[in-house]
Structure 1
Amino acid sequence: MNQISTLPVDIKGKPFKRPGFVIVLLVGAFIAILNQTVLVIALPKIMEDLNVTANNAQWLITAFMLINGIMIPVSAFLLNQIASRNLFLLAMGCFAIGTVVCAISPTFQLLLIGRMIQAVGSGVMLPLMQTLMFMIFPPDRRGEAMGLVGIVIAFSPAIGPTLSGWIVDSYHWHYLFYLILPITVIDMILAIYFLKNVIQLTKPKLDILSVLLSSIGLGTLLYGIGIGGDKGWGSPIVWISCGIGLIALLLFSLRQFKLKEPILELRVFKSKGFTITTVIVSIIFMTMIGSEILLPIYTQKIHGYSALQSGLVLLPGALVLGLISPIAGKIFDMYGIRKLSIVGMVILTLGTIPFLFLKQDTSIWWIVTAYSLRMLGMGLVMMPLATAGINALPQALISHGTAANNTVRQIFASLGSAIIVGVMSTSVSQYISHHGMNQAPHLLFDATIKGLNNGFLAAFILTILAFIFCFFIKQPVKDNAQ
């Protein structure tokens, strides 16, 4: 076969080579995802340096997630409105500006503004990256492509806390942003040379009401979920926020079906293959985020580890996930999704069981091994399932499919962390209430371990639910784009 015929082509029909294109996208996605997790470990130092409370400091994470979530659905509209390379440069440029603001910020207010500007770029970057990866790989190689994406998704959350712990312990939290900035600038320069325009623009009309409804809906829903753990799920503000969010999202959805050119084409959910895989991936993502919150609590509060040491505990699992993702992608390309998803979910389930029985003297190597087993199973299923779902859509709906997939995953991630951490917190409170504070000094240790076990039990139940859904996947998932 002629090599030219196997190359991707831009909108003018001109062939180009993939490697530079792919590297630019993966680096952009890497720093966008890294930026989501890099600040978690640094919050105590920021609170001390800027003299803010924990509730205020948490907004550096919450506000980022809110803006990020709001931008994801809008990305499908932007993908069809602005040329691919220009949109990438705009997103990365916005991210770079936000990073500069964060790096030089002398006050909490300016740091928060910088994080929100970063989130605008990040919210466009991730669905843009996934859409472009699908556009430049043929259907029979999309598993390989998403395996590469899986490496980025694996390494970023694990490297974030480890890197953050080292920088905060050794230097100053401002250096977190000084480190990200030059990588962002270099990636933008490379994008000018390597990125091509591969999406034929349809120039849809912007429906302002749809943007308002999606922004209000996602913003208030994610806010309500985010404060549920702190305020309590019975708090009126939580119910009001979630209620307004759900009503706005319902109105947004109904409007999309009526519009000739919707902001987000929700008809992608008419595809059973896309819907079932999106739900499974979102549930798995819930358990991944929840586990990455619970494990540092265990290592720091029970084993007395530092922030850097806690990050290092997660690193072997991230390496396993990063190594298996491209292999899983190739297996998917050769054999399809159904058997691969079932095998992966069995491994993921087995890797979750040990966390139901954590004790004060549980070996840290046993934790690392079990967590790595979980990541092995996750690597076998997460990106292949996402690929199978997108493959079930026609080419014209790929941008809407990736935006919808990322939106649902963002909501599930927020909900998952709230549920799993909420279960842990409630269990700790009930344990202390039942035994009384006048008991032995190890009471708080026992309560924390009980809460962690119950938190992982919630993750285990969610894993079983995702496992059951895998049996409803039809094999093979047909590709309508061919």
Structure 2
Amino acid sequence: MPAPSNLQAYVLPGRDRGIILVLLFAAFVVILNETLLNVALPRLMQELNLQATTVQWLATAFMLTMAVVIPTTGFILQRFSTRTVFIAAMGLFVLGTLMAGLAQGFGPLLFGRVVQASGTALMLPLLITTILALVPAAHRGGVLGMVSIVISVAPATGPTLSGLILEVLPWRYLFLFVVPVALVVLAYGVRRLVNVGEVRPAYLDLPSVGLSVLGFGSLVYGFSSVGNLGGWSSPQVWAALLGGGVGLLVFVLRQNGLAQRGAALLELRPFRYPMFSLGLGVILIAMMALFGGAILLPIYLQSIRGLGSLQTGLLLLPGGLLMGLAAPTVGKLFDRYGPLPLAVPGAMLLVGTLWGFSTVGEGTGIGTLLLLHLILSLGLALLFTPVMTTALNPLPGPLYPHGSAILSTLQMVAGAVGTALLITVWTVRSAALRGVAPPEVAQTAGLQAAFGLATCVAVVALFLTFFLRRPQPEPSAPEGAQAQQVSSVGD
């Protein structure tokens, strides 16, 4: 283990701490809604008389909107002030949540989800960029650990909270309960939030926006729709993937050309920093396994083990809470010891628990499943904060918005890819045994094959973690609160 750094205890100034706490709470509220509706989909199918392929668009459209909006946040965070972006993000989220809660049919409900997602897409890059601007690189691990709380606890809490509400109230209250909370956060943020960094002139290249929509949007749509459009043999799936690949290639080429004139919509220069590229690769592989597992485990618990939605949410909740509670401590340990002593054991736990899930059967004890999920969550806690901090630390100030936008966008793509791959393996393996073995046995075999693939993917992440090193920001790159002036210009 590397010798601990001789770092004095770092305490955020009161103003900076207040800014970050406002954004953290706002991010928690908006990200909670990514999973809040998942448990309610069967109820919506009954009450609105919808098919499964139709109601699934409430989740797919949310992810699709995020994938389309996030690539533009590099431009947005550079061009507009912190308060402006915060007000826009929370305003869109409140409006979309209210529209969804009052919707009388599927169309208005879907549109409300799209507006919700537009606000959500702005919030996480805003939070990460603000932390990078306010906190010196040597102390970012502990603060970015707070972001891991939002990323892990909010999605884990969503299904449980949703199950509790649906036990006694109509589905509309999933949204109506959130509206007053979001309004309080918006009002407090408007009153307390100050602008961080300097607003710089930026050029909005409309062809790049179109290419971003085509590239990222089509890829996420294609991978997310594999299960709804008849599998990998569907022409629609392949058309979406092909269009997305071509769009993304042209998008990259155009950004490289525009970057020479300082007019890129999304700067790709962060990829020139080896630790950013390496850390991003580890995060994306881990996200593929995490998102796929988040889909497979509820299917197994409800379809094979017969648990209800509330029971499933309660079983998965402790893992999310453990990951969130461990994240700040892991961040502080990163600041002291660097990434290797944390990321390598975290990746080992990830590999071991995914392999453990690949051996579960129809009679595996609930206690065993809970223990595996807790260890998996601990492994992810040891992995995410050190790797994310390692990836973002070497970037100079002007690339903060673009680095966070790249990170957030590719996480969405990786989640869609991981889900599609693992669901496909599960479906194909189960179908191969249909008629030969009982349905429960066939589904369990599919689950084991899918988690086996996730284990192999996680082994690649484990290999990459051995190359992580504590990066040092460029001497010319301003870092920390002292190097970033708080803008005194109001909105």
TM class by shorter chain equals: over 0.9
Give the match for residue 410 of structure 2: 408
Mapped contact 2:141–2:334 kept (Cα < 8 A): yes
**Counterpart code for 2:26:** G
Work out whether residues 165 and 311 of structure 1, in 8 Å CA contact, stay in contact via their aligned partners in 2. yes
- 1:196 is aligned to 194
Show the counterpart of 2:4.
Answer: none
Which residue identity does 2:239 align to in structure 1?
I
Map 1:160-199 → 2, pairs under 5 A: 160-199=158-197
Partner of 1:461: 456
Residue 398 of structure 2 aligns with which residue? Answer: 396
Residues of 1 paired with 2:217 and 2:359: CA distance? 37
Who is 2:154 aligned against?
A: 156
Measured after TM superposition, the shift of residue 353 of structure 1 is 2.2
TM-score (norm. length: structure 1): 0.94
1:449 aligns with 2:448: no
Determine helix, strand or coil for the equivalent of 1:205.
coil
CA RMSD of aligned residues (A): 1.5
Moved more, 326-335 or 186-195: 186-195
Percent identical pairs in the alignment equals 37
Give the distance between the partners of 1:170 and 1:48, measured in 2 at CA: 17
Task: Give the deviation of 1:114 after TM superposition.
Answer: 0.3
TM-score normalized with structure 2 length: 0.92
Is 1:268 equivalent to 2:270 in the alignment? yes
Q: Distance in 2 between matches of 1:6 and 1:382?
A: 23
Is 1:124 the counterpart of 2:122? The answer is: yes
Residues paired across the two proteins, number:
464
Residue equivalent to 1:348? 350
**C-alpha distance in structure 2 between counterparts of 1:325 and 1:366, whole Å:** 24
Matches of 1:24 and 1:48 in 2, distance apart?
38
1:237 deviates by: 1.2
Equivalent AA in structure 2 for residue 78 of structure 1 = I
Aligned counterpart for 2:108 among listed residues 107, 110, 114: 110
Matches within 5 A, 1:181-330: 181-230=179-228, 231-259=230-258, 260=261, 261-330=263-332
SS at match of 2:222: helix
Question: What do the CA deviations read for 1:291-312 (whole angstroms, capped 9, x no partner)?
Answer: 1111111111222111000001
Structure 1 stretches of at least 4 aligned residues deviating more than 4 Å after TM superposition: 5-8
Which fold has the larger relative contact order, with Cα–Cα distance below 8 Å and residues 6 or more apart in sequence?
A: 2
One-letter code aligned to 1:478: Q
Structure 1 Cα separation of the partners of residues 320 and 336 of structure 2: 25
Equivalent of 1:97 in 92, 95, 102: 95
- Residues 13-71 of structure 1 deviation map (CA, whole Å, 9 limit, x = unaligned): xxx52332122111111122111111111001111111111111011111111111110
Cα distance in structure 2, aligned partners of 1:376 and 1:424: 25
| Aligned-partner residue type, residue 278 of structure 1 | L
CA contact (8 A) 1:346 1:377 kept: yes
Cα deviation 1:126-154 (Å, max 9, x = unaligned): 11111112212111111011111111111
Q: Which moved more, 1:463-472 or 1:306-315?
A: 463-472
Instruction: Determine helix, strand or coil for the equivalent of 2:204.
Output: coil
Q: Distance in 1 between matches of 2:201 and 2:185?
A: 27
User: Aligned pair 1:75/2:73, yes or no?
Assistant: yes
* Match for residue 139 of structure 1 among 137, 140, 149: 137
Secondary structure of the 1:228 match is coil
Matching residue's letter, 2:445: K
**Alpha-carbon separation, structure 2, partners of 1:288 and 1:375:** 9
Selected match of 1:373 from 350, 372, 375: 375
Asked if the contact 1:336–1:477 (Cα under 8 Å) also holds between the matched residues in 2, the reply is no
Amino acid at match of 1:104: L
Contact 2:390/2:470 (<8 A) preserved:
no
**By how many angstroms is 1:286 displaced?**
1.4
The one-letter amino acid paired with 1:56 is T
1:476 maps to which of 451, 470, 476: 470
Checking the alignment, whether the CA contact within 8 Å between 1:98 and 1:115 is kept in structure 2 is yes
Alpha carbons 2:100, 2:112 under 8 Å: kept: yes
* SS class of match (2:225): helix
| Residue segments in structure 1 that go unaligned for 5+ positions in a row | 9-15
Letter in 1 for 2:119: G
2-structure distance, mates of 1:305, 1:78: 44
